[in-house]
Amino acid sequence: MKFTDGFWLLRDGVKALHATHLQKVEASSDGFTALVAPKVVEGRGATLNSALFELEFSSPLADVIGIRVRHHRGGNDSLSFELAQENPKTTFAKSDSSTSYTSGALTAQLSKGTAFNLEFIAGDRVLTHQRSKSISIFNDGGVHYLSAQLNLGVGELVYGLGERFTAFAKNGQSVDIWNADGGTSSEQAYKNIPFYLTNRGYGVFVNHTGKVSFEVASESVEKVQFSAECQDLQYFLIYGPTPAEILEKYTALTGRAPQLPEWSFGLWLSTSFVTDYDEKTVSSFIDEMEKREIPLDVFHFDCFWMREYQWCDFEWDPRTFPEPAAMLTRLKAKGLKISLWINPYIGQASPLFDEGKAGGYFLKRLDGSVWQWDLWQAGNAIVDFTNPAARDWFKSKLRPLLEMGVDCFKTDFGERIPTDVTYFNGADPNQMHNLYTQLYNATVWELLQEVKGADAIVFARSATAGGQKMPVHWGGDNTSSFESMAESLRGGLSLSLSGFGYWSHDIGGFEGDPDPAVFKRWLAFGLLSSHSRLHGNESVRVPWSIDEEAVEVTRTFVNLKKKLHPYLIKTMHEVTAKGLPMMRPMLLEFPEDPTAWFLDQQYMLGPDLLVAPIFTPNGEVTFYLPAGQWRNYFTDEVREGGRWLTETHGFNSLPLYARNGEK
């Protein structure tokens, strides 16, 4: 949120107080607290009728220092994410000029005096700093905000903040951390993560579950500003120094993805969103895939496995699936895993609506009535996952499906959560908006772990910080164009720098009917992603519906991914052990190369394979090979890196290079 009118003035109606004069420092059992006045205090009289900033310093992990800024402590604390706490060894020291607090290789140094100065130091280098007007209270028309700014150096670039489809480097952008169902062609995002890292050796995580507004070199071009409507705001500075080490420490703090079942890395085929289908249709897709020698691992039933108007009742539509258990037995005999679409809404026509209303399992309006709307299904209510009984009830409706033979669920939606509601646990609805998806996915994930054990997996759309512990996530509603293919990749790379180890997307685009060239180029990209799914909206994505060449391309890249399976499994262990993503932006593997800082149309699949998707119908692609030797995966030709290359490829190929010339 922007509070200023240019560099000198505040916007009309905005009042500000800035941390200015350090008054007092007190050590505590796990850090220290500093009291800072919003003006120069020259005598006792100046302490009257004035606010104070309380800055609480702590360290949950080595190389991580947290600062909690408080104004008034009499209200309810802001909700926080679930974080690890390892109680690392820290050092607290005071001198005539400053107070320092050290965790691992990171030091926060707070200067004494009337000019506020907080520096974050690693070795002999100041990573970033907070000085004049960098910690503030803003009053905008009676609404109270806390705000913090961190300096950006010359050439410093900012990445992350969730799955964002805008420019890869976030400099110059205004970003609201607020989950929304906006598709891939807008500034909105399904997966908003209040975490960013820079190419200068550190990351920043804001531990606030509600709306956090980031101004990334936008309001003040020398700073990243983040603000929230609250009385206390906590943020952590995480020292790397490399991007990979920053992610390793951030995911140690917020959680890492578990091992996934090996079958999940195969091809997923969907019925698509609103298409007509029954068992005969489903079987025809599966049999045709087998006939055309295209390996298939997962079949997904999207929304109309249930009856219209009754999402969700978790009952098969008896008109099209009269014998679901027998059908699943037949499908699983073909070696397939089965996925079902669900969401956290209960339509008024669902037999579960009255049951949920009577049990108090839905979000309520302020007057105590059930909150409803007509979006998606008529009279939808929203399950209140802060109610333990509602979570158990929701699980009880899914469990019979798992016992019937279903293997996993696609947990769709969870973004359009209203704020004019009351929760069972009394939580602030603004701070619950983003956190809602965490409870939704966790409810399903817990059941899958209980029933499926190591085979647990969801296919989720919405997420917030920590959501990486419940994989896998896909990119949401894209369109059938090269532009949307590129924005999908940007979103995935941005998410990978936000702690998420796995990511997928709708091959060929969700909306519209893809041009054959778009579909075939997207196949290569999709089958060299961590997870691969054919899915659309009003039309199916079986390759023969495009053309015969699409069948060949699908077969080629499904088999290529099968061949890469041992490599992917090895990479999966890095995801779990270190929090590194399977699909890696180039800067993650080559942080010393300034060219890599800007690349968002290519990526590393694991540590050793470079993939450059093709975004042109004629197959021409320009990409960058970092320094070193690289072997063309298809031709075995070894090329020297440190340069840009332009190649032209048929649909059965793309730039795929193995690092160090290895086979």
Catalytic residues: 412, 415, 477
Q: What's the 3-state SS for 257-301?
A: CCCCCHHHHCEEEECCCCCCCCHHHHHHHHHHHHHCCCCCCEEEE
DSSP bridge partners of 661: none
Query: What Rg do the C-alpha atoms of the chain give, in angstroms?
Result: 26
> Between the CA of residue 24 and those of 72, 103, 113, 492, what are the distances in Å?
17, 22, 11, 45
Residue with tokens 């059941």: 447
Question: Six-digit token pair at 184?
Answer: 């891939």
Please check whether residue 139 is in contact with residue 63, taking contact to mean a CB–CB distance below 8 angstroms: no
Identify the H or E element spanning 659.
Answer: strand 656-659
Neighbours of 421 (CB within 10 A): 18
Question: Would you call 43 exposed, middle or buried from its count of C-beta atoms within 10 A (0-12, 13-18, 19+)?
Answer: exposed
Burial of 608 (0-12, 13-18, 19+ CB in 10 A): middle
In what helix (H) or strand (E) does residue 158 lie, and over which residues does it extend?
A: strand 158-162
Residues 583-589: contacts with CB under 8 Å, at least 24 apart: 583/492, 583/493, 583/496, 583/503, 583/529, 583/530, 584/496, 585/159, 585/168, 585/493, 585/496, 585/497, 586/624, 586/626, 587/159, 587/199, 587/243, 588/243, 588/244, 588/247, 588/496, 588/497, 589/244, 589/626
Q: Estimate to the nearest angstrom the gap between the alpha carbon of 94 and the chain centroid.
A: 40
Strands in 372-373's sheet, in edge-to-edge order, are 345-346, 380-382, 372-373
135 burial via Cβ count (<10 Å: 0-12, 13-18, 19+)? buried
609-636 burial, b for 16+ CB within 10 Å, e for fewer? bbbbbbbeeebebebbbbeeebbbbeee
Identify whether the C-beta of residue 248 lies closer than 8 Å to the C-beta of residue 578.
Answer: yes
> Which three-class secondary structure string do you get for 389-401?
HHHHHHHHHHHHH
Helix and strand element counts for the chain (H, E): 11, 38
CB 30: neighbour CB atoms within 10 A? Answer: 14
What whole-number distance in Å separates Cα of residue 200 and Cα of residue 571? Answer: 26
Residue burial 565-604, b: 16+ Cβ < 10 Å; e: rest: eebbeebbebbeebbbbbbbbbbbbbbebeebbebbbbbb
Comparing CA positions, the residue from 342, 349, 344 lying closest to residue 363 is 344
Q: Which two tokens stand for residue 469?
A: 């512990």
